[in-house]
Amino acid sequence: MLSSLSLSLSLSLSLSLSVSGGFNIWAITPEERGKHDKQFDSLSPTLGYVSGDQARKFFLQSGLPASVLAEIWALADMGRDGKMDRLEFSIAMKLIKLQLQGQPLPSSLPVIMKQTPVPSMTSSARFGMGSMPNLSVMPAMPMLTPLPLALPMPLIPDPLSISNSSSTTSLASNSPKTGACDWAVPQSSRLKYRQQFNSLDKLMSGYLSGPQVRNALTASNLTQTQLATIWTLADVDRDGQLRAEEFILAMHLVDMAKTGHPLPLTLPADLVPPSFSEFSLSVSLTLSLSLSVSFEDKLKENFQRGSMELEKRRLALQEEQREEERRRQKEREEQERREREARELALRRQREEEQRMERQKEMERRREEERLKDLERQEVHLPLERQRRMEWERAKRAELQAQREREQRDIERLTARKRSLELELEAVGNKHKQISDCLREAQSKRRVQRAELELINQRRDGRIADINSLQLQFEGVCKSLSLSVSFSGGGVSDMKQSVSEKDLSCRKLKEQLDALERETTAKLCEMERYNRDMKELRERQRQQQAVLEQLSRVKAEKVKELQRRRQEQEERRRREEEEQSTVTQSVFHLTSLQHHHCAPLTFQVDESTVREPGWLYGSYGGKSGWFPESYAEKINKDMTDPTAVLTHTTAPPCNFNTTVQESSCVEDTFAIAVCAWTANTESHLGFSKDDVITVLEQQENWWYGELGENRGWFPKTHVSMVTTNNFHTDPESGDLTFRAEDVILVTEKEGEWWKGCIGDQSGLFPSNYVKPKDSDVCATYIAQVTAACIATTAEQLSLTPGQLILVLHKNSCGWWLGELQARGKKRQKGWFQSSNIKLLEPNSVCQVIAMYDYKAASEDEMSFLKGQLINVLNKDDSDWWKGELNGVMGLFPTNYVKMTTESDPSQQWCADLHSLDSMSSEERKRQGYIHELIHTEQTYLQDLELVLEVFYKPMAESGRLTEAEMAVIFVNWRELIMCNTKLLKALRVRKKTAGERMPVQVIGDILSSELAHMQAYIRFCSCQLNAAALLQQKTDASPDFKLFLKKIATNYRCKGMPLSSFLLKPMQRITRYPLLIRNILENTPVGHVDQANLREALERAEELCSQVNEGVREKENSDRLEWIQNHVQCEGVIEHLVFNSLTNCLGPRKLLHSGRVWKTKSSKELWAFLFNDFLLLTYTSKQFSSSSDKLFSPKSNTMYKMYKTPVFLNEVLVKMPSDPSSDDPIFHISHIDRVYTLKADSINERTAWVQRIKAASEHFIETEKLKREKAYQARSQKTSGIGRLLVTVQEAVELKPCKPNGKSNPYCELSMGAQCYTSRPQNDTLNPKWNFNCQFFIKDLYQDVLCITIFERDQFSPDDFLGRTEVPVATIKKDQEGKGPLTRRLLLHEVPTGEVRVRLDLQLYEQTPLL
């Protein structure tokens, strides 16, 4: 009865709360709304809304079916716009919570859910137990009149109503003493679990979620069913979270379960937390508060509150409008003030401009008046002056004519002497040339004799080896004979016969050996004779050189004597002019008619000249003329002095800054300090820069002077002399005078008067008399310094002979403005005297050094000696340049000189001085050596091609040599061209990638890659001695052939060099590579990205040189390989095999053993050749002739065919027979798919075969192992950098075919510095699909370059080159920005066809900022 009554009471209470707007299951509390707002903000709403996708993903986390969530969305989306604001989102969350609690969804949205959340009023606020937030906020929506409640409240609160009273729960949780006596949980447990709750509630939110409580509950080791029951009982308000008292209740239930007590099905009343038992009190308080306030009171209060808010906003808006109006008024006043100031400034400037124009017009009017007066004065005295000048010119002309005749006779006499000296010099030169030709011929004969001697020595060694082998065989036969005497009588006769034959052959070999020794002795004697001849020729050459030097000294002395005579004649002529002009003269001081700021100058007056009243005739500085007497004043002198002195009232022209003082009057001497000097003793005089010192006494290097009150000695090198006549203290003496079109270097701008300088003059000048100089007004010139000059001011240039100056402007006063072109230094701009330089033509900005002496063959040519510097004036003709040497200009051949920059390669590669100046000295040298490598490689390749065009084709077409002889001389010349063409193309591609005239950062990878494919040089250099011997033999035997070679060598492209000189170039080039690479490496800084590549390239270059040297030393091995090449017919896979070349990975191919073997079953005779990389089995296609039955005989005409495919030694296993004591010399060779059972000639021969095959196989396998380990270490090494590059080589298309069937076996090699990866080869295809992945670590974004190279896998020689391409990492970064990984098709260079497709993904690490 009591339970039914409680249920009806709770239903009526729920209905009354729903009607009155109080507590309702559909109402959203402020705490729930705050929680919903946080969840809404976590979804990152856009413009206050969340989209349907965002809400859908969040709602699905509740676990409700999609159909139920769709109904909730339809109820909550009040605007039907497919998105939710904060209210709609809160409604949806409330509906989801009620649905999870089992409450069915309403058919329509309740009105209470659309209202603003109403805070709950607790009993504590009613009865003074504390204040709760938002207690005064009342609902804004109208509410119905609540129904009265007459029934008591239930003892146990309903969970749904408890969930809507969070404030009461929170208060109760914060006050654990409330109802503590009625709660069955012990006080000790409450305190312990309260501390555990506080430790878990790190955010201090007042509740714990399921994941936070899970660890505490699972630590009890209870079953999942028990833990689920405990959670259901402890979560009293069914909100999925545990508050403090709920957590304490849950842990108390865990303790009960662990002690063995059964868990109750429903929560007993004594275990209900105290905060939840006070729910009836809070409900009654809320209802009483809602009943005490009527609807009209609430409406009126809300209206008053809204009116007050509107009034407040209206006042704030008016205040903002007034503030905006005040601000605009201030802006208008400020704008008017600025406009008024601008107008005033413009008017002031206009008035100043008008005043300046008026002053300028007045000055021009005065100048015009003065000019007209000067013209009038000149017209009066013009006829008399003209007559005097004509008479003086006639006398001067006659004197000059006589002097010219005298000089002409001297010149003719010296010219005749010069011609005779030149004839003598030419005769000596011809003699020197003859001696040089004889010397070269003797040297060539010596080389040939040395080659022949080496051949003879080799033959002798071979014969000695044959004799030793025959002796060993003879001893073996003797031993076997002694053993078999007792057994076979008939065998003894046979044995004796064989012994006699062996003795006969030994005697023959000894005779041949003696003949060889005699021939060797004769050759040695002949070489000694040649050495003596060469010494005599060298001695004669030294004597001729001494004669040449003596003649050169005589010529130089004659030239100096001629110059000295000319100078004496000029000095004599000058003295005569001075004597003629020094008649009775008076000394005057002349004043200028132009300016009044300069000092007086001394002027010599000829009083004997007939003159007009008021005018005087005088001279100054070598010039004579009339001047007005009123402008000068006579100087007072003794009667013995025939000169007179005049004073003046105006100053002399500014052109005459100095005064020529010829009177004996005493004047003060002053010196200006050009730099500071500190006195070391008491007798010294110290001073600062620009101090004026009065000089009292002068000695050789020390002067005695006075400065202020101090006197003392000082060095004269620290001062410059001035006199009282050119030193002024007038405040207006600092003005600068100039002429129209002059250029002034402005040093300071201040007001209308600026400070500037022209040459050695500096001072003030009006700014309205000048205008800015246009940069393109005048053309620039290049000038060369001829005389040294030291700058006296900071605006002047200090010059050294030979320097180059860029002339910027030419002033009429003789001071020019220019820029000093000094490499390696900062460019300087300043003034210099035009008399110290000479202008050069536009193409003359370089110098060359003579490598040989040259004698002019015509009048327009010039002669020079070795080592002289020639100034190049014109380069229009590539073979003949125009130059200047010691004042003599003419043409000279370019192949007789070299550029001066070759001594310093840092200046060869770039003509831009600014680019060179921005680099360090080490980098300039590095780039110079790289340029030298590329340039010399191009020249060397041109020489190789020249040999084919100039020598090979005419010799082949003439028929003077057979094809075999041509092959001996030129060997594999075309292969050399192919090797160096690939290298040059790779270098050009790298240079093109870097840019023309731009530095090349990385080159070592190309060198290390291409030097590995230079195996053709091994064969050529090993055959070079045979080629030289054959060529010399043909030349000596056939005069017609010798004349033919000389005729074709006259081609201008050969530059006078014979064929033998060109045949030496490959050997010279291959030995030059280590030197060039070492120079580049030495100038590469430590840590540079190219340093590791250059070290590897240097190792390969030195290894190649050692291989070539070894090939030359192992001439016998090379000859035998050449013999095999000519006598073994290769078919199938080895059709194009070159025996005398490099192997794939073991260096040069070597013949380790050879001989005859038989197959065991068929007894077929085979000839085996064991190389260091494979074993070749052959059979004879033509039987040996009776005359030669040995391998490698030059007279042998036997041909061999390949029996089976060659057996590679890294795939072979050699075994002895199962019974090693057997006398049958059998051994087994096991390959991958077949086994050869072979029989040797003897047991010893079998042992030799087995041991050598085993050793070669082990060496091959070990070499491959080391190669793989090196590549693995390079890839596995941990590399730090700024990022990484992921590369996927997908495929290649249209590659170059290399195999006879038109296919290839291509594989790809990717490298970046020391990092290298290699893909697997694809067999028989021109369009391989690799899909090969690798990654590279980036060290330098702007220097690292990804190199992709395609090779053809070749088992018998180094892999063939199929193309190469490069991609700078900086380009990848630029193309990938904002796009992610990119796929590119890259064209392969250095080959006619082919491209590769790669996928590139550059990933840069984030740079951690330094703290």
Mean pLDDT of 897-901: 66
DSSP symbols for 659-674? ----S-----EEEEES
Q: Of 536, 538, 558, nearest to 425 (Cα)?
A: 558
Identity of the highest mean pLDDT range in 3-7, 724-728, 993-997: 993-997
Token pair 């001062």: residue: 719
Q: For residue 1288, what pLDDT is reported?
A: 94
DSSP symbols for 789-844? B--SSTTB--B-TT-EEEEEEE-TTSEEEEEEE-TTS--EEEEEEGGGEEEE-TT-
Helix, strand, or coil (residue 596)? coil
Q: For residue 170, what pLDDT is reported?
A: 35
- For the ranges 133-137, 1135-1139, 1148-1152, the lowest mean pLDDT is seen at 133-137
CA distance 395 to 376: 30
Q: Which residues of 1138-1167 are buried (b: 16+ CB within 10 A; e: fewer)?
A: bbbbbbbebbbbbbbbeeebbeeeeeeebb
CA distance 1073 to 161: 96
Q: For residue 776, what pLDDT is reported?
A: 40
- Whether the predicted pLDDT of 165 surpasses 50: no
Q: For residue 1189, what pLDDT is reported?
A: 55
pLDDT band at 1256 (very low <50, low <70, confident <90, very high): very high
pLDDT band at 396 (very low <50, low <70, confident <90, very high): confident
∠ CA 1119-1125-1130, rounded to 5°: 160
Q: How many CB atoms lie within 10 A of CB 773?
A: 14
What phi and psi values does residue 1326 have, to the nearest 5 degrees?
-110, -5
Which residues are within 8 A (CB) of 4 and not within 5 positions of it... i.e. 6 or more apart? none
- For the ranges 288-292, 318-322, 866-870, 1235-1239, the lowest mean pLDDT is seen at 288-292
Alpha helices in 1277-1380 (DSSP H): 1369-1376
- Whether the predicted pLDDT of 889 surpasses 90: no
Q: For residue 417, what pLDDT is reported?
A: 82
Q: Of 990, 989, 988, nearest to 1000 (Cα)?
A: 990
Residues 915-969 pLDDT 10s: 566 678 788 888 888 888 988 899 999 999 999 999 999 998 888 888 888 988 8
Mean pLDDT of 1122-1149: 80
Mean pLDDT of 1106-1120: 77
**Could you tell me if 1363 and 1369 are in contact, meaning their C-beta atoms sit under 8 angstroms apart?**
no
Q: For residue 1134, what pLDDT is reported?
A: 67
Mean pLDDT of 469-483: 77
- For the ranges 19-33, 146-160, 194-208, 1127-1141, the lowest mean pLDDT is seen at 146-160
- Indicate the DSSP class of residue 1011: G
CA distance 1049 to 1068: 20
- Whether the predicted pLDDT of 174 surpasses 80: no
CA distance 126 to 130: 9
- Whether the predicted pLDDT of 280 surpasses 80: no
DSSP symbols for 1139-1199? SSSB-SSSSB--EEEEEEEEETTT--EEEEEEESSEEEEEEESSPPPSS--STT-TT----
Mean pLDDT of 346-357: 91
Complete edge-to-edge strand list for the sheet that includes strand 669-673: 710-715, 702-707, 692-698, 669-673, 719-723
CA distance 467 to 462: 9
Sign of the torsion formed by the C-alpha atoms of 150, 155, 159 and 164: positive
DSSP H/E element including 361 = helix 295-484
1085 exposure class (CB count in 10 Å sphere: 0-12, 13-18, 19+): exposed
Q: For residue 551, what pLDDT is reported?
A: 76
Q: For residue 1147, what pLDDT is reported?
A: 80
Mean pLDDT of 668-695: 80
CA distance 165 to 1074: 93
Complete edge-to-edge strand list for the sheet that includes strand 880-885: 888-893, 880-885, 869-874, 847-850, 897-899
Token pair 């004779």: residue: 529
**Could you tell me if 1125 and 1200 are in contact, meaning their C-beta atoms sit under 8 angstroms apart?**
no
pLDDT band at 19 (very low <50, low <70, confident <90, very high): very low
- Whether the predicted pLDDT of 161 surpasses 60: no
- Whether the predicted pLDDT of 651 surpasses 80: no
Q: For residue 1350, what pLDDT is reported?
A: 92
CA distance 327 to 585: 88
Residues 99-128 pLDDT 10s: 888 788 888 888 888 877 755 444 333 333
Question: Is pLDDT larger for residue 854 or for residue 281?
Answer: 854
Q: Of 169, 143, 422, 396, nearest to 277 (Cα)?
A: 169
**Could you tell me if 1353 and 1305 are in contact, meaning their C-beta atoms sit under 8 angstroms apart?**
yes
Q: Of 943, 794, 950, 982, nearest to 1362 (Cα)?
A: 982
CA separation, residue 143 to residues 114, 996, 1388 (Å): 13, 89, 86
- Whether the predicted pLDDT of 56 surpasses 90: no
Token pair 């405990």: residue: 230
Q: How many CB atoms lie within 10 A of CB 648?
A: 18
Q: For residue 160, what pLDDT is reported?
A: 34
Q: How many CB atoms lie within 10 A of CB 1404?
A: 14
Q: What is the overall mean pLDDT for the chain? A: 76
- Whether the predicted pLDDT of 418 surpasses 70: yes
Q: What is the dihedral of CA 1142, 1143, 1149, 1154, to 10 degrees?
A: -150
∠ CA 922-1093-1320, rounded to 5°: 160
Residues 1151-1188 pLDDT 10s: 889 999 999 888 889 999 999 889 999 988 865 444 44
CA distance 508 to 531: 34
What percentage of the chain exceeds 70 in pLDDT? 78
Residues 211-263 pLDDT 10s: 888 888 888 888 888 888 898 888 888 888 888 888 999 998 998 888 888 88
pLDDT band at 626 (very low <50, low <70, confident <90, very high): low
CA separation, residue 1105 to residues 186, 1073, 1407 (Å): 97, 9, 46
Q: How, if at all, do strands 804-810 and 815-821 pair?
A: antiparallel
- In one letter, which amino acid is 1284? R
Chain centre to alpha carbon of residue 1265 = 36
CA distance 378 to 628: 11
Alpha helices in 60-163 (DSSP H): 66-76, 86-100, 123-126, 159-163
**Could you tell me if 880 and 894 are in contact, meaning their C-beta atoms sit under 8 angstroms apart?**
yes
Question: Is pLDDT larger for residue 526 or for residue 100?
Answer: 100
What percentage of the chain exceeds 90 in pLDDT? 9
Q: For residue 278, what pLDDT is reported?
A: 53
CA distance 752 to 733: 18
- Whether the predicted pLDDT of 789 surpasses 50: yes
CA distance 930 to 919: 15
Mean pLDDT of 800-809: 77
Q: For residue 579, what pLDDT is reported?
A: 66
Mean pLDDT of 823-840: 71
Q: For residue 1222, what pLDDT is reported?
A: 72
Residues 757-776 pLDDT 10s: 876 677 877 777 777 765 44
Question: Is pLDDT larger for residue 349 or for residue 21?
Answer: 349
∠ CA 1084-1090-1094, rounded to 5°: 80
Q: For residue 409, what pLDDT is reported?
A: 86
- Whether the predicted pLDDT of 1399 surpasses 90: yes
- For the ranges 201-210, 402-411, 623-632, 1060-1069, the lowest mean pLDDT is seen at 623-632
Token pair 């080592």: residue: 867
Q: For residue 393, what pLDDT is reported?
A: 87
CA distance 1084 to 1094: 9
CA distance 27 to 12: 17
- Indicate the DSSP class of residue 106: P
HEC secondary structure over 852-918: CCECCCCCCECCECCCCEEEEEECCCCCEEEEEECCEEEEEEHHHEEEHHHHCHHHCCCCCHHHHHC
Mean pLDDT of 873-885: 78
- Indicate the DSSP class of residue 1224: S
Alpha helices in 1023-1166 (DSSP H): 1024-1037, 1039-1048, 1059-1063, 1065-1082, 1091-1113, 1115-1127
DSSP H/E element including 762 = strand 761-766
Question: Is pLDDT larger for residue 280 or for residue 1246?
Answer: 1246
Radius of gyration in angstroms for the set of CA atoms belonging to the chain, rounded to a whole number = 56
CA separation, residue 573 to residues 451, 576, 623, 624 (Å): 72, 5, 17, 18
Mean pLDDT of 745-754: 74
Residues 539-564 pLDDT 10s: 877 777 777 777 778 778 878 887 88
- For the ranges 501-515, 609-623, 722-736, 739-753, the lowest mean pLDDT is seen at 722-736
pLDDT band at 147 (very low <50, low <70, confident <90, very high): very low
